[in-house]
Chain A
């Protein structure tokens, strides 16, 4: 990643999830689009407040599951019919009911791996560095008991002084500038 300079955004700290959701909802209503909330546990109301309603993890999971099922079933068919046909008590080589169980297991295997790794990929993880880790109060609170709202400098409405005053109007615990 190319080194970026300047301000990443302004970070407001709140004590309760209610204060955070109220501030986030207001900011979104006032036209902010480059904003994010940081919480120590999933706060669904905050995601809705910043307009994040749907994600593509279920789609990835479905695709993965179908691929796993198709891969195993066709492999079983190929092995049993063409590659290594065995006569087991006179049963047909294409004895598909017996193939269901491994195909079922691989549906779950591929779907589960797609859900887990798809979620990480969509989240852009792993990424061990992030500008927010530079904020002095972020690491003490964001994974323990504090709730943060970040208005990012990439938003066209961003102006260091005005935005700071805007965030102060929500009566946060503190507002700090985050550098890249």
Chain B
């Protein structure tokens, strides 16, 4: 490429490959450890952290108020009614869980593909997954109307002798999402155990040594332990990969199994999974760009990471574009009157604006600009783009849920949908909860996996000659 010759003097570029370096030069085992550990082990919390935490905490409080009012009054405070019975709760559920999927993609799928550049972003991507699943999991529960009976979803031997119905995708969802949450937490925690060991050994305060000591489970870095640990990590990654694909597939079944025009389509599973990864990478960028700036981690989360994430978004963006195209094609090709009307209504009906927001945010802006390496490594632009894609993906779910439901078969049963303030407050509240949890994570847990970053350093390379010269 012509541009790489011009920029080769940039110290961030490795002259051997012409690519950006994964880790900046001159980093050592001790320097990366110090850089990551000092964020957590410092006795002074930056003022900016407190400022953000106050804002996020206020958001989380809004959620508390919105949910408390919901429990007192019932789901009637939301705009859901016939014909749009699924509104914001399901839109937000799908949006949040989709965001979580990029975390698993980075931590599991890229591990299996030996993409070692992912090491420095895997931990906070995984944390993002867990907090997104926390926000997502709440919506179906509060949406059922009587959340205190939520345990009826599980096959429990209760006195009523009533059991769940295993032929419904909604029940499959219970198992898919609960397994996803459990495996994500376990994978995340197991990944942090060696880093807790580092914290235990480097903490200055007694309470820090005590807490991280317990969390580290007594990790001491024996190579026998490391080998079992590596096997377990690889197996967990291998298990999380089919899991993450199945979770969004099952969620798409919630729609695709229904006979509603706009939902009843076989393209949904792959299209949902690609969309999930698309929005998830956007959220990783939204989080990573301010974090690396605020905590001066530019040498660990480099332009290479931003560039690669841009490339993944470009690829998944095109899969999503194919999904949109196929929906339009099938509306015509199926020769179904209902499908054709649904699609016309989606584009030009009273809520047609939402479709064009989606096309602009998901296709027009990202898929034209992400081709350029210059723009992919332009940090402010990528931050802006990540917000655009997140907005676009939210509107994608809005379009799927609302514009399919509000005008279905019989014109006499048509309706409309206008979200109430409680819908908005609940959504804003989950944004606050997510940010607050993420801030706590950044302050108290190792946000970059130190042990994995050490493996990327040049000093971790063992020259075969050095090993054998004395022995055989």
Q: Residues on A close to B: CB < 8 A?
A: 16-19, 21-22, 25-26, 29, 36-47, 50, 52, 55, 57-58, 61, 65, 72, 75-76, 79-80, 83-84, 86, 88, 91, 95, 98-99, 101-102, 104-106, 108-109, 111-113, 115-116, 118-120, 122-123, 125-130, 132-133, 138-140, 142-145
> With A88-B167, A127-B218 as given contacts, are A115 and B226 in contact (CB-CB < 8 Å)?
no
CB-based contact A99/B454 at 8 Å: no
In whole angstroms, how far apart are the Cα atoms of A104 and B228 in the complex? 25
Minimum CB–CB distance for B466 against chain A, Å: 4
In whole angstroms, how far apart are the Cα atoms of A125 and B182 in the complex? 20
CB-based contact A41/B460 at 8 Å: yes
In whole angstroms, how far apart are the Cα atoms of A166 and B460 in the complex? 26
Interface of B is mostly: helix
Q: What residues of B have a CB within 8 angstroms of the CB of A145 in the complex?
A: 28-30, 33, 454
In whole angstroms, how far apart are the Cα atoms of A29 and B223 in the complex? 18
In whole angstroms, how far apart are the Cα atoms of A38 and B220 in the complex? 7
Chain B residues 32 to 52 lying within 8 A of chain A, measured CB to CB, are 33
Interface membership of B230, Cβ < 8 A: yes
Q: What residues of B have a CB within 8 angstroms of the CB of A125 in the complex?
A: 193, 217-219, 225
> With A102-B172, A109-B183 as given contacts, are A115 and B239 in contact (CB-CB < 8 Å)?
yes
CB-based contact B462/A58 at 8 Å: no
Interface residues on B, range: 35 or more
Our pick among A55, A72, A129, A144 for the contact of B202 (Cβ within 8 Å) is A144
In whole angstroms, how far apart are the Cα atoms of A37 and B155 in the complex? 47
Q: What residues of A have a CB within 8 angstroms of the CB of B469 in the complex?
A: 22
CB-based contact A144/B220 at 8 Å: no
CB-based contact B459/A16 at 8 Å: yes
Chain B residues 252 to 289 lying within 8 A of chain A, measured CB to CB, are none
Q: What residues of B have a CB within 8 angstroms of the CB of A99 in the complex?
A: 166
In whole angstroms, how far apart are the Cα atoms of A19 and B452 in the complex? 21
Chain A's closest residue to B217 (CB) is A126
Our pick among B198, B202, B219, B235 for the contact of A57 (Cβ within 8 Å) is B235
Chain A's closest residue to B459 (CB) is A16
Our pick among A72, A91, A127 for the contact of B167 (Cβ within 8 Å) is A91
